[in-house]
Amino acid sequence: MRIIHSADWQIGKVFKQFGTKEETLRQARLAAVERLGVHARGNGVRHVLVAGDVYDSEAPSAHTLRAPIERMKAFVDVHWHLLPGNHDPHRPEGVWDRVAQLGLPENIHLHLASIPAALDESAVLLPAPLHRKSEFDDISAWMDAAQTPPGALRIGLAHGSVVDFGSGGEASNPIDPARAAKAHLDYFALGDWHRTLQVGPKTWYAGTPEPDRAGGQEQGTALLVDIAGPGALPSITRLVTGTYRWVSRSERIDDEEASADLDRRLREEADLSRLILRLKVEGSLPLAAYGEFLRRMTDLDAAVFDLDLDEASLAARPTEADLEAIDFDGVLRRSADRLKNVVDDSAAAPELRRRAEEALVELYLRVAGRAREEAA
């Protein structure tokens, strides 16, 4: 049997920190649903399992509620199996009752109770929906005693944190890492951990189809799962589903050559216009090189989808040539010398030194800019 395992769509997620770009990222999550449908068709898959957190909240707007449903409707030959997670638990008159009232087509299945559900004549799904954000008991424990037809594949579907494995989910909801063996599962599809992660021979987290945070999964994925038969180890293939790549980098630069090399390496990243880059830079540069670094970062910011630059640990250390470029022997030079003395004073307060450094850089850039204008 061949299935696709996905999780953590979190449709309707808020990205306020991105300002006017927020809606673009919200739409990308819906595009990932469509891409899952394309993958299913292209790989001959009839069943897509979504292991929780279809929605980002329990109270999505009417538009947000319908948006993923409409995308799934378009793939009438694909069966979508949806499970409540900790972001969208199944409560009376909650989000899932609202979804059910929409009048769903036959290819969209809501698994709102812990009861076996036949996928076809050869496989049974054992879902473990969440009814609260956090559960202290293992919601997958019922699978051990679940009755299924002889010879049928047993596939578990749950949303939670595998205990003693460091999966680091968002809420409690503990899951025994040995559940697949105890319940004789042929595959255990998990959600909650936003990275693709193998827990055991038959237990996987799919990761999120569209990343949503720095320092996590760089690109959205789902898992194509092939199961030859009962007892066989599943064969796993990762499928790319995301539009945007979330990349975090920490770099050190101490001269112009290193600064230029950093810029070159960042520009070699694939699909710059779809790159969300979190960049922390430390080290020290002469004023001229520092000014060039800032220019490069301004250009890079225009090339990528979003650049979050942390340069708090990058110091500007003026050379004699830098100071002479400001003014060889005049008022500006004396001002620059005083600022440099504050920068170099280890006894001065860090904030004072930082402000003096910023003022010195600003002075240098203004003088250099004026010189370029006069030369032109």
pLDDT tens across 93-108, in order? Answer: 999 999 999 999 999 9
What per-residue confidence (pLDDT) applies to 236? Answer: 98
The model's confidence at residue 327, banded by pLDDT at 50, 70 and 90, is: low
The model's confidence at residue 375, banded by pLDDT at 50, 70 and 90, is: low
What per-residue confidence (pLDDT) applies to 6? Answer: 98
pLDDT at 168 over 60: no
Q: Considering the entire predicted model, what is its pTM?
A: 0.87
Determine which of 222-226, 268-272, 320-324 has the lowest per-residue pLDDT on average.
Answer: 320-324
Nearest CA to 192 out of 4, 53, 49, 33 is that of 53
pLDDT at 81 over 80: yes
pLDDT tens across 140-154, in order? Answer: 999 999 999 999 999
pLDDT at 156 over 50: yes
| Amino acid letter for position 169 | G
End-to-end CA distance of the chain: 70
Helices and strands, number each (H, E), in the chain:
9, 17
Instruction: Pull the structure tokens for residue 199.
Output: 């827990």
- Map residue 165 onto helix, strand or coil: coil
What per-residue confidence (pLDDT) applies to 345? Answer: 84
Q: Are 115 and 160 in contact (CB under 8 A)?
A: no
What per-residue confidence (pLDDT) applies to 358? Answer: 80
What per-residue confidence (pLDDT) applies to 367? Answer: 72
Triad 351, 353, 356: Cα angle to 5°: 110
pLDDT at 48 over 60: yes
Q: What's the length of the chain?
A: 376
Average of per-residue pLDDT values in the chain:
91
What per-residue confidence (pLDDT) applies to 50? Answer: 98
Determine which of 58-67, 194-203, 287-296 has the lowest per-residue pLDDT on average.
Answer: 287-296
Determine which of 140-144, 299-303, 330-334, 353-357 has the lowest per-residue pLDDT on average.
Answer: 330-334
Name the one residue in this structure whose structure tokens are 């007892």.
231
Strands annotated E in 74-134: 79-82, 108-110, 117-120, 123-128
pLDDT tens across 251-290, in order? Answer: 999 999 999 999 999 999 999 999 999 999 999 998 889 8
pLDDT tens across 344-369, in order? Answer: 888 889 889 878 888 877 777 777 66
Nearest 10 degrees: CA dihedral of 60, 157, 166, 244? -50
Nearest 10 degrees: CA dihedral of 129, 134, 138, 140? 10
Nearest CA to 281 out of 268, 269, 266, 271 is that of 266
pLDDT at 169 over 60: no
The model's confidence at residue 124, banded by pLDDT at 50, 70 and 90, is: very high
pLDDT at 202 over 60: yes
What per-residue confidence (pLDDT) applies to 215? Answer: 78
CA distance 301 to 374: 28
State percent of the chain over pLDDT 70: 94
Contacts of 85 (CB under 8 A, 6+ apart): 7, 8, 51, 52, 53, 54, 130, 159, 191, 192
- Of 338 and 148, which is predicted with more confidence? 148
pLDDT at 329 over 80: no
pLDDT at 3 over 60: yes
